[in-house]
Structure 1
Amino acid sequence: MACQPRGRRGRGGRGNRNEESRDMRLSKSLTYILRHGANKMGLQMNSDGFVFVEEILAHQQFRSFSLEDVERVVATDDKQRFKLCNHTEDGRLQIRANQGHSVQVTDLELREVALDDPDYPREAVHGSYMTHWPSIRSQGLSRMNRTHIHLAPGLPGEGRVISGMRQSCDLAVYIDVAKAMSDGIEFFWSENGVLLTPGDAAGFLAPRYFSRAQTLKPSPCEIELH
């Protein structure tokens, strides 16, 4: 991957509410483009998932935003969803999403997890919602239209966990990673610490890999797997 990382800024406080609202709009628009819609919007995405920032800012939807806006949104994103760096050949600034793609990205710099890795989590958690529990309990977790199922090594706020599930999730499904890997299911680390798996050939993590499940709101409570 031809990329020279740019130095990260500190996560200082944001400006007024109007600026925060603009930042949120920009973050959501970048997320859509870099995970799903670059080609639909006429933007060229490289095989490693990067899109040149100047091309994004030239698009009609982004003409009210500046390079400084993009840099601020990347630097202050608590979940580190994006990577911003200079192309090594021509120095042009480029950006990509660290995970969450529904389009195929062949060189996302994912680190494959092996059973003999000393740091892989024996158990990982997927955040969802209780309304989906009947389907999850019977069919398993599905990657749906994405290329991977997203897992975290713990709940948000535990240790170094910053990403992998939405804060609004009210269901946590815990996965026996070692058992799944023993059956040939692959797992990968993204650059921002999300554990990713494509699941089985059909894109599922079957219920037999669930180690436990619990509701998260209003307070954690174990629920039956069967």
Structure 2
Amino acid sequence: GHSVEVDLGLPPATPPEYLYHGTVARNLDAIRAEGLRPMNRHDVHLSPDRETATRVGARRGRPVVLGVDAAAMHRDGHVFRVSANGVWLTEAVPPKYLRFPGPH
């Protein structure tokens, strides 16, 4: 459900064309099927650049950086907010907006 304190009073913002999400390879099958979900947080956290996303993913193993077509999500009505430390927040990212890296 939606509760008022979740968004910390952050106003909706227009995201850059692409945002990035750092994860690890073992999560990819679930992400391909379900997209990015907030899990135990209120929002999915997205980074404005690949370097930050890589650092986030590296906390949990060998990082994999996913691209998010934030401009298309925004056009389709998804709401984005940006926190004071530059992290972008959105409720969820459906699989169709995700760009997976090619095979390594």
Same fold (TM over 0.5): yes
Verify the 8 A CA contact 1:109 1:191 in the aligned structure 2. Answer: no
**2:46 aligned with 1:154:** no
Verify the 8 A CA contact 2:57 2:63 in the aligned structure 1. Answer: no
Q: Secondary structure at the match of 1:142?
A: coil
Q: Secondary structure at the match of 1:150?
A: strand
- Runs of 4+ aligned residues of structure 1 deviating over 4 Å after TM superposition are none
More contact order relative to length (CA 8 Å, sep ≥ 6): 2
AA paired with 2:84? E
Equivalent residue for 2:71?
178
TM-score of the superposition, structure 1-length normalised? 0.39
**How large is the RMSD of aligned CA atoms in angstroms?**
2.6
Equivalent residue for 1:145?
40
Q: How far 1:127 sits from its partner (Å)? A: 0.7
Q: How far 1:184 sits from its partner (Å)? A: 1.1
Equivalent residue for 2:96?
208
Verify the 8 A CA contact 1:127 1:172 in the aligned structure 2. Answer: yes
**2:56 aligned with 1:165:** yes
Deviation track 1:149-178 (CA, whole Å, cap 9, x = no partner) reads: 00001122xxxx59x824335111111001
5+ long unaligned stretches in structure 1: 1-102, 115-119, 200-204, 215-221
Equivalent residue for 1:127?
22
Q: How far 1:104 sits from its partner (Å)? A: 6.8
Q: Secondary structure at the match of 1:132?
A: helix
**2:97 aligned with 1:187:** no
TM-score of the superposition, structure 2-length normalised? 0.79
Verify the 8 A CA contact 1:126 1:152 in the aligned structure 2. Answer: yes
**Count, aligned residues:** 99
Q: How far 1:109 sits from its partner (Å)? A: 4.0
AA paired with 1:194? V
Verify the 8 A CA contact 1:124 1:177 in the aligned structure 2. Answer: yes
Change (3 A) 1:107 1:207: closer
Deviation track 1:103-159 (CA, whole Å, cap 9, x = no partner) reads: 973562424213xxxxx3100011111001011111111111211000001122xxx
Determine which structure has more spread, i.e. the larger CA radius of gyration: 1
AA paired with 2:5? V
Verify the 8 A CA contact 2:21 2:67 in the aligned structure 1. Answer: yes
5+ long unaligned stretches in structure 2: none
Verify the 8 A CA contact 1:151 1:165 in the aligned structure 2. Answer: no
Q: In 2, distance between residues paired with 1:188 and 1:145?
A: 18
Verify the 8 A CA contact 1:147 1:198 in the aligned structure 2. Answer: yes
Change (3 A) 1:183 1:198: same
